[in-house]
Structure 1
Amino acid sequence: MRIAGYLRVSTLKQAEDGVSIEMQKRIIINHCEMLEIISDESEIKWYIDDGWSAKSLERPAMRSLIGDIKTRQMDLIIAYDMSRISRDIMDMMSLLKMLDKYGVSLKCLYDNPSFETASERFMTTIKMATHQYERERTSERTRDAIINIAESGRYPFSGMKHYGYMKDDDGRMVLNPEEASLVLEIFQMACEGYRMREIVRMANIRQDKEIFTMGRIRRIIKNRKYTGTISVYGKDYDGLIPAIITEEIQKKAESNLVTHSHKSDRYIFTSVLICRRCGSTLLCKSAYGKMKKMYLYYFCPTCKKRIRQSDVEDELSEFKVDNATKDFKNRYNALRDIETLLLSRRSKLNDKFLEGAVSVENMQIMLTAIENELRDARRKRSAIQSLDAVRVFSDFEDAEQKKAFVEMHIRRIVIDIQEKKVLTIEFKESETSAEKKINSIIGIKLTTRNMSDII
């Protein structure tokens, strides 16, 4: 006989009367051994929903059990009582009909459902109605208690821990300094228009483990609790939880959520292409084809001619990248030093903001230059990180690496826009010192000098 043991408990129920998972399991095993249904507990396949309400059948283990029932992998289901299975009459009746259809028996040790006689059907229905009544009354009491706590000025969801917060010795919700600093940085990057995958990568690097996904980052950015506002059954409460960001920052972060590349990021040769005939810098343009495919091209405002980006890429496909990267190691190390310095300064600024030493307005002003330079350093370092394996322009993995390479090494490319040809490439002077590059990019920034007074 193929036996399934179903165990369920909600957090509230477990706290109230101790009907724990282990207790249910022990009683089921003892019952099966006493009736000699099994000789060893390994003969029971367990389905466990720990911390799930019985208000519906939408529970992980229950869904798995229903799937096994439909594939005829079970003969008998054993549970502690009917309320473990469901506290909703309609759900319970639907489940019983399905069990009957697939020839599966259900045994609830303390209130087994039976429909053999009119009396048994009546009593079983009464029991199911009682379980539903208890669930609804419990839900109402919980709702009233939560509202009462919120009205008294205390955080009502003490069992729910959101990233960025922790409980103090008095049970109040306070900021977790390390996590709150990362939450603030997530919002800052979103406000600056960083792509979602870049924010995820930054957050996981800071945590030194893969705990963030795009879905989780999106939920953080949309969570109003980080503004210090919580909603309790339709009513908003302020001051029950410390704020990490303002409503303005959250709105800006939400409006800037980007899950794919900006169109402007797809242009590889921005401000680099020069028309040989008139000397004009070509402008970035785009158009859509018949299949709604977007085409990127560069337009000469004087000659009124254009060239596709793909044509320029084809022209450069065999261009030897290694000829322009003699200073590879110095450049890479310089960019890494820049990024480390910028991250350190931003982290210190975040700490000062959370301590209340810096206003939101001043923080945004001081962060602007840092964010711009950090974005630039990351893009360029990403591009040259794989240059050891790159020998020609077409070897780059994507447009982002090509764009970063062009920004770093190429000053201008002269184009014969009539013939769609690349004529000459002018390279930038290579830097020879990491210290020189750091000073040239960061040291002269007014924002940086102002920050030194605070950090």
Structure 2
Amino acid sequence: MSTEDQVNVFEGSLDSQKYRISEFVQYKNRQQADWGNIVEFYVEEGVSAGTTNRPVYQKLMSDVRKGKVNLILVSDLTRLSRNLMDFCSLINELEKHHASYLSMKEQFDTSTPIGRMLVYIIIILGQFEREQTSERVAVNCHSRALRGLVNGGPAPMGYDKHPDKKGLLVVNEAEAQRVQKIFQIFLDEGSRAKAVAKLNELGIRPKRTSTKQKENKNSIWNYQSLGSLIENIAYIGKREVNKVYKDEDPSHLKPWQKYQIVPAAWPAILDEKIFFDAQSLLEEASLRERTRMSKTEKRIFLLTSILTCGITGIPLVGQAGHGSSGTIHRYYHYSRRPKDLKVVRPRLNADELEEKVISELRSALVTQGYFDDLEKTLKSQSDSNTKGGAAEFDRAQKELKDIQNRITSIWTNQSRMQLSEDALKLASDELNRLAKQKQDLEKYLSTLDPKASDPFAFKEQTLFVENQIRWCMQGWAKATPAMRKRLLRRTIKEIVVTQTELLITFWTNSEDRDFSLKVEPQGENSNNKSNIISFGCRSRPSSNTNQRRRATSSGTVPDSAAEAAGENLKCAVGENQNSSIRSSGNDKIGRGART
């Protein structure tokens, strides 16, 4: 479904498409025994098929690569793609993995030249329709903008939406006085940071526009929100057209895409001199910041974007600070302050933590039998999960079949009987309830894997991890800091630091890794754990008292952080971190896997 409105329509909705697909599969199975079974419904709500950058579409293609899906069945070809180049790439990908597609509406024989030609024509027409609609909407919005009207969005502080005329703003006198006072405070204080502190001290609050903001009655100003207000040209009765193309070369843009400033359809509430004085102050501050940054040494933190706190689940990012003696300290800490947390993790020394991770990678390559034991542990863990998951998978499948039969029965009876309006409403409510149950059950089934373990898959996964670590270490010595960070991201999925452990999670196949790095990075709470191998380490207290004292005095590495950087290692298997295989020596890495 391309829009939210289409999703919410009962007739012709997603449930209707699912019903038609189910009936089509049953019909095909009656014609030809064992024609096929529905593995999963891949549903995208409110997302256009004009791009492949869709999470559900990427999940579908990932399942195709894994061999879980060998036929993509759609109700309409344009539901799959509305871009010719994307569709050609899809066809090549399906052929590469011995899969195919089928549209219930356009059942062309794509094994013949004429069939493929007709399919491409339909895709081109779908692309033409999408681009024409997009251009028509863009031209209409541009025409309204040139007349000084707004095309949606919340009204800025100082204005309200006109109750009758869409696109017009009316002055809110009380808020307009606050806007004038905010500009004056900013000019008097001379910087955004000082102005933010002054505004919050005086109790002047930002305008709450979204539902979430309205629920938070204690909202305060910050650096970004004040900057957005100061830069808003609407306060002097002007309207920016195509602001998104402000920095683009106009010669490369279409007429309705060019950036302009036009008179607005609402009155100004601020003197132009005050407004442009504020812009000059902002530009001076920006210039000073750019000059300072250009003279500052660029610091790259290797573990940023893959390091997570195991206590709170919040990412840890690299930061730097100057000590009283002028020494620069590099450390990892929370990217945002945890709320309602009594004990906050102290800072972790960046140099020590990064060196510990690199030493673990080097040790993995020189420890004899390390990857052989890893493969055995992977297989053992997978066999244990499969035995317990097969019975649950059968139970969930049976429940799903019962729900589908109830939906089919209600749908059939509704079409055959003359029902009253109240009866139709009851039937519609029951169908919606069953559809919700069915959707939840399908999502749950997608997380289960009742198939028997493939021994070759464990060998491939283990070999992939070994090759990635070896490739990372071979290029490490000559790599730049930025390149080292990329090497680690392509080898390690996530590092979780707890009070006593350092858990390193590796990628085990290139498809999921490349998709995650390009489209949507997966966090610690990702549901797909089948492609992960995790190693853990448990530390012993450092014997070097001077080093411990130095680290504590600098405020970068506390006792818990020093423990997390220890040498004795163990491996967590599954969710039970006590199930482990210990190494025979203190300096060797334990072997194991978590799936």
Q: TM-score surpassing 0.5?
A: no
Instruction: Point out the structure with the larger strand share.
Output: 1
Larger radius of gyration: 1
Q: TM-score, normalised by structure 2?
A: 0.34
Q: TM-score, normalised by structure 1?
A: 0.43
